[in-house]
Amino acid sequence: MLFAVDVGNSHTVSGIYKKGQLMGSWRLQSRQDRTADELAIRYHGLFQMAGINPDKITGFIIASVVPILETSWLHFARSYLTKLRQPPLAVTHTLKLGMKVATENPSEVGADRIVNAVAAWERYHVPLIVIDFGTAITFDCVNGVPEYVGGTIHPGIGISLDALATRTAKLPRLDIDVTPDQPIGTTTVKAIHSGALYGFGGLVDRMVQVLSQQLTPDQERARTIATGGMAGLIKPYTSTIDEIDLDLTLTGLRLIYQLNCKGKDEQSADFAA
């Protein structure tokens, strides 16, 4: 089995694959003080509840945007996943990806952005835009070569609401727990909800428009796929998200593991689609 881990600034998403099928997945907070031993305690319990035997895990791959947590996770994998058939794999632009990272400085591109691009290209094989609603909202562009050519980064919904509350005297910190019934908010709470949902929906549509003009100048717009915890919340307020896949990053990790470990791991068929 393959243990795939995506470490973000706010949450860590992980999953177990067997023969290309996602057998279980978990979404936990990313605490930067988490040690390898603490990860072992937590995931031993999660594996036990899911009926997963950690001795059956023969592969491990991680994409992380938090260096200190990447170190803890790699230590955890080396120390506690005793049946790995090769060293734990951490995603960088230097791995086999099935595409070139064609940016000015490939080493600065977040591992999660690379992984999402690989997964989306494998699904569509057309020029595309991946929209990831995380701590930040990222738009990642892949051309038809295929090459990862870059994208844009925006403040996420959560941190935008935090900033609104902390930098103003009378506006409250809100979670988006209800959807507005009309764009014009008739209370402060409704106005904030409307501003967030219609506003970020409009941001998505505008960015897809301008990125498509550069990415696919001969087409109406590029194909789009969205992921991240807020994707489903924003989709009704846009007209340009074609599909949502909350497991997109895990899929990309599985694909990258296959590309880099096939032929080295005698059990590589366990991870194939």
Residues known to be catalytic: 112
Nearest to 134 by CA among 158, 165, 152, 151: 158
Give the rounded distance of the alpha carbon of 219 from its chain centre: 27
Ordered DSSP codes for 49-75: HHT--GGG--EEEEEES-HHHHHHHHH
Q: Supply the Cα-derived Rg of the chain in whole angstroms.
A: 20
C-alpha 265, offset from chain centre:
26
Six-digit token pair at 143? 């051309």
Per-position DSSP letters for 16-53, written without gaps between them? EEETTEEEEEEEEE--TT--HHHHHHHHHHHHHHHT--
- The helix-helix angle for 67-80 and 36-50 (nearest 10°) equals 60
Query: Position 51: which residue type?
Result: G
Find where tokens 């036990």 sit.
48
Rounded-to-integer distance, Cα 67 and Cα 258, Å: 24
Collapsing DSSP states into helix, strand and coil, what is residue 13? strand
Instruction: Reduce the DSSP state of residue 151 to 3 states and report it.
Output: strand
Contact 244, 267 (CB under 8 A): no
CA–CA distance, 25 with 149 (Å, rounded to integer): 30
